[in-house]
Amino acid sequence: MKSVLVIGIGRFGYHLIDQLNRAGDQILAVDSSEERIEPVMDMVTSSLIGDATNPAFVKSLGVANFDVCFVAIGDDFQASLETTSLLKECGAKYVVARASRSVHEKFLLRNGADSVVFPEKQLAEWSAIRYSSAKVVDYLDYPGDYSIFEITVPENWIGKSLSELGIRKNFHLNVLSIKRNNNTILEFPADMVFEKGDTVTLFGADKDIKKNLGINY
């Protein structure tokens, strides 16, 4: 369980709080609008209404006590930048800032953000890759030109075992899990044979995934 501060309760902030709450984290929600705070009241540990660009207000939050601070402000970049900077000045351990445009990233990083997220851009990229191929079930970008893909097992894999296919040796891909009949299998013998309806989660370099799985992204 982590202690989390979320500043800015728009659409992104709301869904972020929803997921943090499901994970059992302790959440302080902050926004300048009481109207935006109300929908998350039942999901947070506490909430405050205030101006996060005000140094005195930010200092009063005790930001050094939080494991992570999210700046989820999406409609006012200047406010997002000022808030990010103030959080670091007040001792925040780790600041994640939301950006709507790539050009904003370098400014946020220079002004205290430890990480920058692009909700709309990242969702668009995921959706494009997920739905551009009928075989892709899920996808996760991994740092350093690597990716994790969950795909439906190719037709030419059905009836063949892991050792027979030589996925690691021939394709340079690692099998992380196999899903069969809604059950996820994390430990599997080399002689396990793929069946129709299976999905497999693979990790590897982008170039090997594109070459061996025929997925363009």
Strand partners, 201: 150, 177
Phi/psi class of residue 207: alpha, beta or left (left: φ > 0; alpha: ψ in -120 to 50)?
A: alpha
pLDDT at 115: 93
Distance CA 41, CA 31 (A): 12
pLDDT at 196: 93
Each residue's pLDDT tens digit, 107-154: 999 999 999 998 877 777 777 777 777 788 888 887 778 999 999 999
Strand partners, 46: 28
Each residue's pLDDT tens digit, 154-206: 999 999 999 999 999 999 999 999 999 989 999 989 899 999 999 999 999 99
Of 205, 129, 214, 215, which is closest to residue 168 (Cα–Cα)? 205
* Token code pair at residue 190: 């080399």
Each residue's pLDDT tens digit, 64-106: 999 999 999 987 999 999 999 999 999 999 999 998 888 888 9
Each residue's pLDDT tens digit, 1-18: 899 999 999 989 999 999
Strand partners, 48: 30
pLDDT at 200: 94
pLDDT at 8: 96
Indicate whether 59 pLDDT > 90: yes
The rounded mean pLDDT for the chain is 91
Rg of the chain taking only CA atoms, in angstroms: 22
Cβ(209)–Cβ(147) below 8 Å: yes
Angle ∠(57,1,115) on CA atoms, nearest 5: 60
Q: Are strands 136-142 and 68-71 parallel, antiparallel or unpaired?
A: unpaired
Strand partners, 5: 28, 69
pLDDT at 75: 79
pLDDT at 213: 87
pLDDT at 38: 95
